[in-house]
Structure 1
Amino acid sequence: MGAGSTQTTGTGTADLLAAAGVGFGDEVIVPSYGTTEIADAVRALGAIPVFADIDATSYCLAPASVAEAMTERTAAIVPIDLFGHPADVTALQALAGARPLPVIPHIEQRPSESAGALQRRRSNAAYLDGRLTGVLTPRTAPGAEHRYHSYVVRVPGNGRPDRDAFARALRARGVRCSVPVTTPVHRMPAYARDMTDALREVRLPETERAAEQCLALPVDAGMTRRELHHVASACNALGGLLPYGVAA
Structure 2
Amino acid sequence: MGTAALLRAAGVGVGDEVVVPAFGNVEVAEAVARIGASPVFADIDPVTYCLDAAAVEAAVTPRTAAVVAVHRFGRPADVAGLHGVGRRHGLLVLEHRENGASYDETARRRERAAYLDTKLRGVRTPDGGRGHTYQQYVVRVPGNGRPDRDAFARAVRARGVDCRVPVKTPVHRLPEFRRCVSLPETERAAAETLALPVDASLTRREMQRVVSACNALGGPIVVGSTAGFGV
- Structures share a fold, TM > 0.5? yes
Structure 1 residue 146 displacement after superposition = 0.4
Q: Deviations over 1:83-109 (max 9, x none)?
A: 11111111001013354311101012x
- 1:150 is the counterpart of 2:136: yes
Aligned residue for 2:154? 168
Count of aligned residue pairs for this structure pair: 220
Q: Deviations over 1:157-213 (max 9, x none)?
A: 111011111111011100010000000000011111xxxxxxx33100000001100
How is 1:56-205 mapped onto 2 (pairs within 5 angstroms)? Answer: 56-108=46-98, 110=99, 113-141=101-129, 144-192=130-178, 200-205=179-184
Aligned residue for 2:21? 31
Q: Evaluate the alpha carbon distance shift between residue 128 and residue 158 of structure 1 in structure 2; reply closer, same or farther with a 3 A threshold.
A: same
The range that moved more, 162-171 or 89-98, is 89-98
Q: Secondary structure of the residue that 2:139 maps to in structure 1?
A: strand
Gaps of 5+ in 1: 1-10, 193-199, 242-248
Aligned residue for 1:232? 211
Structure 1 residue 35 displacement after superposition = 2.6
> Is the 2:86–2:93 contact (alpha carbons within 8 Å) kept by the matching residues of 1?
no
Q: Deviations over 1:63-91 (max 9, x none)?
A: 11101101111100001011111111110
Q: TM-score, normalised by structure 1?
A: 0.86
2:191 to 208, 212, 222: 212
Q: Secondary structure of the residue that 1:118 maps to in structure 2?
A: helix
> Is the 1:140–1:146 contact (alpha carbons within 8 Å) kept by the matching residues of 2?
yes
Moved over 3 A (4+): none
Residue type of the alignment partner of 2:177: Y
> Is the 1:135–1:239 contact (alpha carbons within 8 Å) kept by the matching residues of 2?
no
Distance 2:128 2:59 in 1: 25
Structure 1 residue 114 displacement after superposition = 2.5
Gaps of 5+ in 2: 221-231
> Is the 1:57–1:140 contact (alpha carbons within 8 Å) kept by the matching residues of 2?
no
Residue type of the alignment partner of 2:203: T
Cα root mean square deviation, aligned: 1.3
Q: TM-score, normalised by structure 2?
A: 0.92
